[in-house]
A and B are shown apart, each in its own frame.
Chain A
Amino acid sequence: MTLNPEHYTNRELSWLDFNFRVLEEADDLRNPLFERLKFLAITASNLDEFFMVRVAGLKQQIDAGFTKADPAGLTPKQQLKMVSQKIHRMTNAQYKTLDALQDELSAMDIKIIRAHDLNDEEKAFCQRYFDEMVSPVLTPMAVDASRPFPQVAQKTLNMALRLSAPESEESLKALVQVPSILPRFLKFANTHRYIMLEDIMLLNIHKLFEGFKVKGMVLFRIIRDNDLTFDEDAADLLEEIEKSLKRRRTGNPVRLEMMDGFDKEGIDEELQDFLTTELNARKRDIYLIPGPLDLTFLFAFSSLKGFDHLRYSVRPPLQPSMIHAEQDIFEAIQEHDILTHHPYESFDCVVDFIVQAAKDPNVLAIKQTLYRVSGQSPIVAALIRAAQSGKQVTVLVELKARFDEENNIVWARALEQAGCHVIYGLVGLKVHCKATLVVRRENDGIRRYVHLATGNYNDKTAKLYTDYGLFTSRDAFSFDVSALFNLLTGYSLPPKFKKLHVAPTGLRTFFEGKIKEEIKNAKQGLPAHIMAKVNSLIDPSIIEKLYEASQAGVKIDLIVRGINGLRSKVEDLSENIRVISIIGRYLEHHRIFIFASSGDHDVYLASADWMQRNLDRRIEVLFPIEQEDIKRRIIEDMELMLSDNQKAREQQANGKFKHVKSKAWPIACQEELYKRLKARHKSDLSAPDVVFVPKKRLQDL
């Protein structure tokens, strides 16, 4: 495949664009103030992860002398340069946003006070707090010829100090970590005034260095390239290096943040030079931050008690419209397939499904893939009970889910002790599919119940991520999901699947085949339309196929939340492709694929994105929707999402995303979907679907 670089957007730059879109939400005055703080926190934690995985990966490519260009034609060096420039812009934008948000908070008398603005009472409180709580956990470390620069843990806040002994010209350097075990900010009683921990230290730190004078202070934070853990997300960057060269880790920073205006205006230049030299930071990697470092503290801040009026109004999850509240879940599934839509509809039914299966004496076996399960998961508890009562319980635990590992290991042990058959993933392949199988003995034979989903079995994230789940007891689905588990347990070779399409063996060919089919239909003058919703679209081969389809006259509507390498609306390339990205209250997470199929509309849901890692390095499942009413519902949902003109940004021919211009009736799909489901829930199940039809624009009337 020869790629024209102009037809692609670089993955890293595209991701940064996405993070900019999240930042827009922090700026959007229509969002409640505390939610905006949270969006800002999200951009910060996203960026940290980006540095740890992606920027570190690029650096390693460069250090290894790797010069191959990506599909967009950029060498690792060029990418790093552009990425760095963009992040500098982003950082500035983040703190501009923070300023604006703080102004709005001040207007409501909610203030984060700097050290020099404290009143005496507050100062006294801070002194006490420092002496009693902070000081005991501090370990100051001097740095001089005999004491080398200490290892500074990544993502921690640290203070560098310049000290001078009385009657001595010589200055001494020291480091103190801002303790991460203490809350990052404190509230002054009976006020809405807050102070950051580092500011409390700022006021009192001299107490640690009796006999010395504190001449300057710099607050800094670091992420290094050797902090990168080799995981599948960086695999695309590193696998070629892995082949040729042993990876080299320099331990150099990929980012060194230093606060500008911590103890005084500007920054202590001597300390800045000292840190830069000692940490071996390059100029490009230094970020002077005009505000508090590590904005992830805003997660905690935005969750402060008592500001509910500054948050989204509570939206209780609905009872899924396809299940009656008192109905036996197995009976319900026997009658028809059931689609659930989270977080609009409650995730409880999924938990109940497992809980009921665990209790039911006729259930012989339960099999489930668990990936990123929450700590006190009721699902895990139910599985343990099921195993204890003698059922065959098979659980696939994927331990490679980043940052969750310790958590996973604890409950995986508990499952094993209860007698579950626990499998810890497959060699070389991450198991990303979400599937459950319940084998039940009934009067007329064995019946198997299946749940397949686009999102994880995590009751916590199910309140935040938009996902579909499907319950079915169709024989072909049960057969396939059984076979999938035989594959995961290593009992069998991959079988011939009847309904499912499974990566890495068959999913890519499936997509290519379906796109080809649409191309063929377009050429024959039949309806040809592809609607797809993914989190990321970066697979070059899929992008090429979509271009080909666009040129053949296939209409293509894409919803891509994050990374997007495709360029839409480009003349003679992708004129028939429209790409939007929706960033809203909920994290858009479902993967939906709809092919016009000459008018029949084939609807599929999947766990996979259009990325190489999903199609080639993971176990992913795509499943068809066969029940007509569910098919129709998904198509309607999809059409609604595509018509969003509030939270949707549309890609322009120049590659940039801009809010959809709308003089029409405002449509925020996340709001509408909830309303739609609520209406459906209220109306009798047999009543016709309530569909909201957007009004026509004024000029069209």
Chain B
Amino acid sequence: MTSSYKIAAAIDIGSSAIRMKIAQHKNDHIDELECLEYPLNLGHETFTHGGIRFSTMEAGAEILKNYYQLIKSYNIPSEYIRVTATTALREADNRDYVLDQIKIKTDRDVTVLEDGQEKTLIFRETLRRLHDRNYKLPKTFLVAYIGTGSVGLAVAKDKEIIYAQNIKIGSLKLNEMMETISEHTIRPSYKVLEEYLDALTHMLKEQVHPLDVEGFVVTGKEVELIASILHIKEDDGKRTLPAKQLKKLYQSIREKSPSELMKIYNISQEQADILLPSLAIYRNLMNFTTTDSAIIPGVMLNDALLYRSLCPKEAKVLRKQFEGSIVASARFMAKHYHYDEDHAKATEGFSLQIFDNLKKVHGFSRRERVYLHVAAILHDIGKFISSKNHHKNTLYLLLNSSLIDITDNEMAIIANIARYHSDDVPDRSHDHYMRLSPKDRLTVSKLSAILRLADALDRSHLQKITELDLKLKENRLLFTAHSDKDITLEAWTFAYKSQFFEEVFGIQCSLDKKGFSA
């Protein structure tokens, strides 16, 4: 195509429907051409039976074929078509067979997104749109995205996301829970639901409590349903949902059955099933914040995917900017584990300085720099459990945590880097290390080699070295530490830890000191 516009399609195989959007980038703005939704209850099958039935998969393939037919009428190049699947397909026991069949039937691959990837895409697009549409936002706000299988929560402060969490209680899962509950109790099931959700906010409070979360941003198809029931209209491109209306609606429907709701609001069974649980979640989260109205930016997964296709340059910049959020949320997590902030900052500084000076040697990209940065921030959090084997505790904590914009595999890399900051070096007898791909193992080795040196330079946790000069001369890396204090401990540790560095990079390190000392 020689034309000056881009056109792309994004398909999202979700838990209750398959959705497609087609949009073009024309005259500097994104122009939505098509928006489709076809119900398909994959979530129900995965969450209750574990897997997806063959007939359901076939129905899904039919829907996709229809969508591809429509795509044809816009002549969209293959590389501009993104087909993704989320929770329902990801968690299905038979996902590999399902994906294989879909590929055979439709002649096109489906990318399964991790939970974290999906949420990251949503949050990043949400922040962008909030900025784009000039929403007035308080310093700190909560972003909530309810999926059918899990709720994604993020707290943003000063335009960076500092905390993100996926909680496995989607609207559909809650609905199924409530159905079971109502068989066992005569109490109104909404009361049980409220208790359950109170426990959730309690947990959230423990994590985020130092902050006063002022704003509330909600996105996803559940809030779209609520907005249409409440006739929320756009005002200057912006939509807000008053807390009062939300609570009133919740109160008026909490004792109604889905079949009653279907009649009252003229909605489908699927919509009726998720209405009460999602309202309950919103109400609960709204109470967690101090705001009296929620912002509805209307971001769906497909919007985020389309932006990446249509504005690749801008999306790249956005992704780079978002690294700030990764670092901020790593720091937020570290604080939670009472880390030694000064030591971490010194280690981060040295690590990144070494990384940047060795670009030609290690050949890494920006992304690996982020791994190193995050590992440097978090390398000591295991001490929160015990200083005994703290590096292993760090590994454990990280492998069981999530960070915004970090995939599970990336987290495993970071956890390994952090784990090897101390005595041990990577070893083929270490399970957690061997579970990584050979390429990722190499990444861990190289980055942990750097982290070990950086950590050594503040071995005493006293930030004795105020400045560091680095010089790479052939196979020698010269460290010159500026300090007015005695750095014997650091020098000794440095000498010991540089062995592994030399082993990995084939570069000998030496440390000189500049400055007075007692």
Chain B residues 430 to 451 lying within 8 A of chain A, measured CB to CB, are none
Considering the chains assembled together, what is the distance between the CA atoms of A421 and B66 in angstroms? 11
Q: Which of chain B's residues have a CB closer than 8 A to the CB of A448?
A: 33
Interface: B7 (CB within 8 A): yes
List A contacts of B27 (CB < 8 A). 444-445
Asked if A446 and B70 sit within 8 Å, CB to CB, the answer is no
Assembled-state Cα–Cα distance A442/B36 (Å): 24
CB-based contact A479/B32 at 8 Å? yes
Interface contact A392-B73, CB-CB below 8 Å: yes
How many residues on A have C-beta within 8 angstroms of the other chain's C-beta atoms?
26
CA distance A441 to B268 in the complex (A): 37
Q: A-B pairs with CB below 8 Å: how many?
A: 73
Assess whether B37 is in contact with A495, with CB atoms less than 8 Å apart.
Answer: yes
- Bound Cα distance from A496 to B32, whole angstroms: 13
**In the assembled complex, how far is the CB of residue A173 from the closest CB belonging to chain B, in whole angstroms?**
61
CB distance from B38 to the nearest CB of A (A): 6
Q: Which chain B residue has the least Cβ–Cβ distance from A443?
A: B3
Given A365-B73, A392-B72, A445-B26, A493 and B38 contact (CB-CB distance below 8 Å): yes
Question: Cβ of A482 < 8 Å from any Cβ of B?
Answer: yes
B248 → chain A closest CB, angstroms: 22
Q: Within the assembled complex, what's the spacing in Å between the Cα atoms of A479 and B31? A: 10
Find out whether the CB atom of B74 lies under 8 angstroms from the CB atom of A445: no
Which A residues lie within 8 Å of B66 (CB)? 489-491
What's the Cα separation between A442 and B75 when bound, in Å?
A: 12
The reply to whether B5 and A446 contact each other, CB–CB distance below 8 Å, is: yes
Q: Which among A392, A421, A495 has the highest number of chain B CB atoms within 10 Å?
A: A392
Q: Nearest residue in B to A367 (C-beta to C-beta)?
A: B73
Residue in A445, A478, A489, A490 whose Cβ sees the most chain B Cβ within 10 Å: A445
A-B contact pairs, 26 of them (CB 8 A): A364-B74, A365-B73, A392-B73, A441-B3, A443-B3, A444-B4, A445-B26, A446-B5, A446-B26, A448-B33, A478-B33, A479-B33, A482-B33, A483-B34, A483-B35, A486-B36, A491-B66, A492-B36, A492-B37, A492-B38, A493-B37, A493-B39, A493-B268, A495-B35, A495-B37, A496-B228
B252 at the interface (CB under 8 A from A): no
Please give the distance in Å from A203's CB to the nearest CB on chain B: 65
A window 378-426: CB within 8 A of B: 392, 394, 421
Closest chain-B Cβ to A475's Cβ sits at a distance in Å of: 7
A binding-site residues for B, Cβ under 8 Å: 364-365, 392, 394, 421, 439, 441-446, 448, 475, 478-479, 482-483, 486, 489-493, 495-496
Apart from the given pairs A421-B69, A441-B75, A445-B25, 9 other A-B contacts in the complex at a CB distance below 8 Å: A364-B75, A392-B73, A444-B5, A445-B31, A446-B33, A490-B66, A491-B67, A492-B36, A492-B38
Q: How far is the CA of A364 from the CA of B26 in the complex (A)?
A: 18
Inside 8 A of A364's CB, which chain B residues have their CB?
73-75
Known A421-B69, A445-B26: A475·B31 in contact at CB below 8 Å: yes
- Chain B, range 56-77, C-beta contacts under 8 Å to A: 63, 66-67, 69-70, 72-75
B219 interfacial by beta-carbon distance below 8 Å: no
Tell me the bound Cα distance from A441 to B24 in angstroms: 11
Q: Taking CB as reference atom, which chain A residue is nearest B27?
A: A444
Which residues of B lie under 8 Å from residue A365 when comparing CB positions? 73-74
Residues on A with beta carbons closer than 8 Å to the beta carbon of B73:
364-365, 392, 394, 439
- B34: nearest chain-A partner, CB-CB: A482
Closest to A446 in B: B24
5 closest Cβ pairs, A-B complex: A365-B73, A445-B26, A445-B5, A492-B36, A392-B73
Instruction: Encode contact with A along B1-31: 1 for CB under 8 Å, 0 otherwise.
Output: 0011101000000000100000011110001
Question: A491 to B31, Cβ gap below 8 A?
Answer: no
Contacts of B7 in A (CB 8 A): 445-446
B25 contacts across to A, CB distance below 8 A: 445
A445 to B25, CA, bound (A): 8
Alpha-carbon distance A483/B5, docked complex (angstroms): 22
Report which B residues bind A (CB closer than 8 A). 3-5, 7, 17, 24-27, 31-39, 63, 66-67, 69-70, 72-75, 228, 268
Q: Are A446 and B37 in contact, CB atoms less than 8 angstroms apart? A: no
Q: How far is the CB of A391 from chain B (nearest CB, A)?
A: 8
Q: Are A444 and B38 in contact (CB under 8 A)?
A: no
Closest beta carbon of chain A to B228's beta carbon, Å: 7
Within the complex, what minimum Cβ distance (angstroms) separates B71 from chain A?
Answer: 10
CA distance A692 to B35 in the complex (A): 46
CA distance A478 to B32 in the complex (A): 10
Q: How far is B39's CA from A71's CA once the two chains are assembled, in angstroms?
A: 39
| C-alpha gap A43/B502 in the complex (Å) | 103
Which residues of B have CB within 8 Å of A493? 17, 37-39, 268
Instruction: Point out which of A448, A475, A491, A495 has the most chain B C-beta atoms below 10 A from its C-beta.
Output: A491
Query: Shortest CB–CB separation between residue B42 and chain A, in angstroms?
Result: 16
A520 to B283, CA, bound (A): 34
- Whole-angstrom distance between the alpha carbons of A593 and B263 in the complex? 30
The smallest C-beta distance from B68 to any residue of chain A, in angstroms, reads 11
**Alpha-carbon distance between A441 and B1 when the two chains are bound, in angstroms:** 10
In the complex, residue of chain B having the shortest beta-carbon distance to the beta carbon of A489: B66
Residue in A closest to B26 when the chains form the complex, CB atoms: A445
Residue of A nearest to B38 (CB): A492
B4 to chain A, nearest CB (A): 6
- The distance from the CB of B31 to the nearest CB of chain A, in whole angstroms, is 7
Nearest Cβ on chain B to A211's Cβ, whole angstroms: 71
Question: In the complex, what distance in Å separates the CA atom of A478 from the CA atom of B35?
Answer: 12
Q: How far is the CB of B265 from chain A (nearest CB, A)?
A: 13
CA–CA, A489 and B268, complex, Å: 20
Complex contacts, A444 vs chain B, CB 8 Å: 3-5, 26-27
Bound together, the chains give a CA A394 to CA B70 distance in angstroms of 10
A483 neighbours in B (Cβ, 8 Å): 34-36
- How many whole Å from B281's CB to the nearest CB in chain A? 23
Q: Complex Cα distance A442/B4, Å?
A: 9
Residue on A with the closest CB to B32?
A479
Please determine whether A439 and B35 come into contact, CB atoms closer than 8 angstroms.
no
Complex CA–CA separation, A394 to B25 (angstroms) = 25
Could you say which residues of chain A place their CB within 8 Å of the CB of B37? 492-493, 495
Closest to B2 in A: A443
Shortest distance from the beta carbon of A346 to any chain B beta carbon, whole Å? 29
Q: Find chain B residues with CB under 8 A from A486 CB.
A: 34, 36, 70
Give min CB distance, B263 to chain A, whole Å. 15
Of B4, B69, B70, B75, chain A has the most CB atoms within 10 Å of the CB of B70
CA distance A40 to B130 in the complex (A): 68
Q: Inside 8 A of A439's CB, which chain B residues have their CB?
A: 73-74
- For the complex, give the distance between the alpha carbons of A486 and B70 in Å: 9
Q: How far is the CA of A492 from the CA of B22 in the complex (A)?
A: 13
CB closest residue in chain B, given A505: B266
List residues of chain A with CB within 8 A of the CB of B228: 496
| Complex alpha-carbon distance, A446 and B73, angstroms | 11
CA distance A541 to B5 in the complex (A): 49
Which residues on B sit within 8 Å (CB–CB) of A489? 66
Give the complex CA separation of A394 and B69 in angstroms: 11
Q: Which residue of B lies closest to A509 (CB)?
A: B266
A445: which B residues are within 8 A, CB to CB? 3-5, 7, 24-27, 31
Q: How far is the CB of A24 from chain B (nearest CB, A)?
A: 45
Q: Which residues of A contact B268 (CB under 8 A)?
A: 493
Cα distance A492–B39 in the bound complex, in angstroms: 8
B224 CB to closest chain A CB (Å) equals 9
Question: Distance in Å from the Cβ of A70 to the closest Cβ of chain B?
Answer: 27
State the CA gap A495–B22 with chains docked (Å): 14
* Nearest Cβ on chain B to A224's Cβ, whole angstroms: 41
| In the complex, chain A residues whose CB is within 8 Å of the CB of B33 | 446, 448, 478-479, 482
How far is B26's CA from A475's CA once the two chains are assembled, in angstroms?
12
CA distance A493 to B38 in the complex (A): 6
- Alpha-carbon distance between A445 and B66 when the two chains are bound, in angstroms: 23
The complex places the Cα of A445 from the Cα of B74 at a distance, in Å, of: 10
Q: Which residues of A contact B26 (CB under 8 A)?
A: 444-446
**Which B residues are in CB contact (< 8 Å) with A496?**
228
Closest A residue by C-beta to B72: A392
Nearest Cβ in chain A — how far from B116, in angstroms? 29
* Chain B residues whose CB sits within 8 angstroms of the CB of A482 once the complex forms: 33-34
With the chains together, A483 CA to B70 CA distance in Å? 11
Beyond A392-B73, A421-B69, A439-B74, whether A491 also contacts B36 by CB under 8 A is yes
